[in-house]
């Protein structure tokens, strides 16, 4: 994945589109990847669009979230706002977020 990101950055883009970069990575690897993405974003002044099905992973590393469900936007806001959105909870988070909140 790092090679793919490096190849994409070789063209000096203004935007980086990342699709499922956390897929198949361990939690530590995801944390490392997220730190790298944030550093690249800050140092290169990039807009990063990060598409991820691992919602809880994504929420820890972004400033703004847009949630789509069946082709329709159902939420747009900060991670804190999105996790409280009833449509998002029903469509994606459900028990996963309830379990995390219970153990926090």
> 41-81 pLDDT, tens per residue?
999 999 999 888 777 777 888 899 999 999 999 999 999 99
Residue 81: CB partners within 8 Å, gap ≥ 6? 75
Helix or strand run (H / E) with residue 92: none
Nearest to 75 by CA among 83, 86, 67: 67
What is d(CA 64, CA 7) in angstroms, rounded to the nearest whole number? 26
Contact status, residue 83 vs residue 59, Cβ threshold 8 Å? yes
Over the stretch 91-104, which tens digit does the pLDDT of each residue have? 876 755 554 544 34
pTM above 0.85, yes or no: no
For residue 22, pLDDT beyond 80: yes
**Count of other CB atoms within 10 angstroms of residue 9:** 13
Name the token pair of 88: 């998002």
pLDDT tens digits for 76-93?
999 999 989 999 889 876
Tell me 26's DSSP state.
Answer: -
């Amino acid at each position: 994945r790092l090679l793919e990101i490096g190849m994409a950055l070789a063209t000096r883009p203004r935007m980086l589109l990342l699709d499922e970069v956390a897929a198949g990575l361990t939690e530590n690897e995801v944390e490392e990847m997220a730190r790298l993405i944030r550093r690249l974003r800050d140092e290169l002044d990039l807009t990063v669009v990060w598409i991820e099905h691992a919602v809880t992973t994504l929420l820890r590393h972004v400033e703004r979230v847009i949630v789509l469900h069946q082709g329709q936007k159902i939420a747009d806001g900060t991670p804190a706002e999105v996790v409280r959105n009833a449509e998002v909870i029903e469509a994606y988070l459900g028990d996963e977020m309830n379990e995390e909140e219970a153990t926090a």
